[in-house]
């Protein structure tokens, strides 16, 4: 008869606690990344787990307590480097706190966004950070309330409501950029890119207020609506250059729109800064390295992501905390384009 096979016994949390001379609850706290355990004790527990070959089954622990350490992050447009930099800030803050980030791309589709949100609910997300897709109904935060999952809306406001929000002072930033162009002698100033939504309305309002303060009549033909991307920016600038009399400067809805506008200027043999003043919005890292370097409104995308993550963690820790609103203070970054 063949000898029976003896399998090694599974290593459990009890064995780790015994090896480290601590309680099971202390081991559990260490494995969950809790800051409540002293560093030297936590290190002893980790060494014991490594020595014994113990592997923490995080999913089983989540099922036992009907929660998770997973945070869902829904980004509307990953083709825009602004959102990549925002996401880096989000991940930096959440991972330092022991959370796992599950990112999904809504591709500017409200329908896809709903499916993604439902999936995150089914996976028991501990919280959700959402950059709303264009066309997202303002009622969405209220519709998600019965889920009991903390939500922070980022970048694009959904109007009045009780939800937490992290974004930028859009009106102030564009007003600042437009005022700079006025102060440097421009009178025919266009506003390029964007079509709809609260962020677009806020930025357009800043543009109009700066013109009004300088007693420059608002000319609706200088507002060139376009998709907020490179293609939209290129098309918007091409249309701008056909206006008679031709504008001499423009503020763009975002930096990606401005990059497209830079390309259109080059196609016409014009150079931003020398022949046409151009200012973007966001200050993505590529703005400093465009040709020429792009003047822009800096809203610190990475910091904004960290602040959004901090607001979500505060909501998770204390569900009854008052509504949190973070608005990044814009700063004008003047480079060679404007």
What is the per-residue pLDDT across 1-54, written as a single tens digit (0 to 9) for each?
A: 444 444 355 778 888 888 899 887 788 778 766 666 788 888 998 898 888 887
pTM for the predicted model, two decimal places: 0.78
235, 265 Cβ separation under 8 angstroms = no
Structural domain includes residue 194 = yes
214, part of any domain: yes
Residue 318 domain-assigned (yes or no): yes
240 shares its domain with 287: yes
Residues 122 and 177 in one domain: no
**Whole-angstrom Cα distance, residue 274 to residue 178?**
18
What SS3 class is residue 276?
Answer: strand
Band of residue 302 on the pLDDT scale cut at 50, 70, 90: very high
- Cα torsion 304, 308, 311, 313: sign: negative
Same domain, residue pair 291 and 305? no
Predicted pLDDT at 7 = 36
Single out the residue of 233, 250, 248, 160 nearest to residue 198, CA to CA. Answer: 160
Domain that holds residue 270: 170-300
For residues 181-208, average pLDDT:
95
Cβ partners under 8 Å of residue 28, min gap 6: 13, 61
Same domain, 162 and 177: no
Q: Are 38 and 144 members of one domain?
A: no
Cα–Cα distance, 97 to 313 (Å, whole number) = 9
Whether residues 82 and 111 fall in one domain:
yes
Q: Which of 131, 141, 132, 139 is nearest to 110 (CA)?
A: 132
Any idea what the CATH number is for the domain that residue 44 is in? 1.10.260.40
Q: What percent of the chain has pLDDT over 70?
A: 92
Does 287 reside within a domain?
yes
Residues 283 and 197 reside in one and the same domain: yes
Residues 283 and 177 in one domain: yes
Task: Identify whether 143 is part of a domain.
Answer: yes
Please tell me whether residues 198 and 251 are part of one structural domain: yes
Across the beta sheet with 295-298, the strand order is: 223-224, 189-192, 249-252, 277-282, 295-298, 331-333
pLDDT for position 210 = 98
Q: Are residues 174 and 294 in the same domain?
A: yes
So what's the pLDDT on residue 57? 63
Identify the band that residue 124 occupies on the pLDDT scale cut at 50, 70 and 90: confident
What are the pLDDT digits (tens) for 135-177? 899 999 999 999 999 999 999 999 888 899 999 999 999 999 9
Tell whether 162 and 91 lie within a shared domain: yes
Write down the pLDDT at residue 59. Answer: 55
| Residue 5 located in a structural domain | no
338, part of any domain: no
pLDDT tens profile 66-120: 557 899 999 988 888 999 999 999 999 999 888 989 999 998 899 999 999 999 9
* Distances 290 to 219, 250, 280, 296 between C-alpha atoms, Å: 30, 17, 12, 12
Helix (H, G, I), strand (E, B) or coil at 101: strand
Q: According to the model, what pLDDT value does residue 56 have?
A: 66
Looking at the 3D structure of the chain, how many domains does it have? 3
Same domain, 287 and 180: yes
Dihedral sign of CA atoms 131, 321, 59, 25 in order: positive
Average pLDDT of the chain to the nearest whole number: 90
Tell me the C-alpha distance between 169 and 255, whole Å.
16
For residue 335, tell me if it sits in a domain: no
């Amino acid at each position: 008869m063949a000898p029976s096979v003896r399998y090694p016994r599974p290593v459990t949390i009890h064995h780790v606690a015994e090896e480290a001379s601590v309680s099971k609850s202390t081991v559990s706290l260490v494995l969950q990344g809790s800051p409540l355990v002293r560093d030297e004790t936590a290190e002893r527990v980790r060494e014991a787990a490594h020595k014994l070959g113990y592997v923490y089954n995080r999913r089983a622990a989540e099922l036992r307590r009907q929660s998770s350490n997973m945070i869902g992050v829904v980004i509307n447009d990953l083709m825009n480097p602004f959102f990549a930099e925002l996401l880096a800030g989000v991940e930096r803050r959440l991972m330092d706190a022991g959370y796992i980030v599950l990112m999904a791309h809504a591709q500017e589709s409200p329908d896809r966004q709903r499916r993604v949100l439902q999936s995150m609910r089914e996976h028991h997300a501990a919280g959700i950070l959402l950059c709303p897709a264009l066309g997202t109904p303002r009622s969405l935060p209220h519709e998600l309330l019965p889920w009991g999952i903390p939500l922070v809306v980022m970048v694009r406001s959904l109007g009045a409501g009780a939800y937490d929000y992290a974004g930028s002072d859009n009106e102030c930033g564009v007003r600042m950029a437009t005022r700079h162009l006025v102060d440097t002698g421009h009178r025919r100033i266009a506003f390029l890119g964007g079509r709809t939504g609260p962020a677009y309305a806020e930025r357009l309002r800043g543009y109009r207020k700066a013109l009004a303060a300088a007693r420059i009549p608002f000319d609706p033909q200088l507002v060139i609506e376009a998709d907020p991307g490179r293609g939209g920016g290129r098309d918007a600038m091409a249309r701008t250059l056909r206006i008679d009399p031709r504008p001499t400067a423009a503020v763009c809805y975002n930096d990606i729109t401005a990059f497209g506008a830079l390309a259109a200027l080059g196609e016409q043999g014009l150079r931003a800064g020398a022949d046409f003043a151009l200012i973007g919005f966001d200050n993505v890292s590529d703005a400093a390295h465009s040709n020429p370097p792009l003047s822009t409104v800096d809203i610190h995308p990475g910091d904004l992501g960290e602040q959004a993550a901090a607001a979500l963690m505060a909501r998770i820790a204390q569900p009854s905390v008052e509504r949190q609103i973070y608005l990044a203070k814009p700063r004008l970054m003047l480079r060679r384009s404007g």
